[in-house]
Amino acid sequence: MRYGSIKNCDIADGPGVRVSLFVSGCRHHCKGCFNAETWDFEYGKLYSQETEDEIIRMLGEEFIQGLTVLGGEPFEPENQPEVAKLMRRVKEEYPEKDIWCYSGYLYDADMQKGGKVYTDVTEDMLSCIDVLVDGEFVEELKDITLLFRGSKNQRLIKLKNGRDVGRYE
């Protein structure tokens, strides 16, 4: 897996101050995407154990509320093994910190058994995520007043143990 960037003080992609990992590789190619350079699976730096260790170190700061994973597309099958490994480690080492994840794929269709991006680690990823922002960015539905999302079709789904337990509006 490759990644475009890591932000250690992100305040735009979830509540509080966050560490955000922008993975590379996305097949959605949404018109008006704010991060189109990360569509390329070869964009950016190679993700390694050292990268993971650095993210874990950044999360150790008391003022950091949690981790956000976005991209690119974290749920592309090629990205899921490394993302799942990172999320599991965050939950083990920092159970008090939350994990947000952004995906153009849909929770109730693409991420379920038999879905477009379902793999042997999808459920593991979902079980670590506290809030999933799902749905492609649709430029015609862009609304800058929305909380932590870009277009009206995107949903903020609260997850508990990988299951949908409600929505933020």
Average pLDDT score over residue span 28-47 = 95
Residue 102 burial by Cβ neighbours in a 10 Å radius (0-12, 13-18, 19+):
buried
Average pLDDT score over residue span 57-85 = 98
Amino acid 34: pLDDT: 86
Count the domains in the chain.
1
Amino acid 3: pLDDT: 98
Q: Do residues 60 and 10 touch, judged by C-beta distance below 8 A?
A: no
Give the pTM: 0.96
pLDDT of residue 69 exceeding 90: yes
pLDDT band at 85 (very low <50, low <70, confident <90, very high): very high
Residue 125 structural domain: 2-168
CATH number of the domain bearing residue 129: 3.20.20.70
Q: What is the pLDDT of residues 106-137, one digit of tens each?
A: 999 999 999 999 999 999 999 999 999 999 99
Mean per-residue pLDDT over the chain, rounded: 96
Average pLDDT score over residue span 59-86 = 98
pLDDT of residue 168 exceeding 90: no
3-class DSSP state of 19: strand
Distance (Å, rounded) from C-alpha 63 to C-alpha 60?
Answer: 9
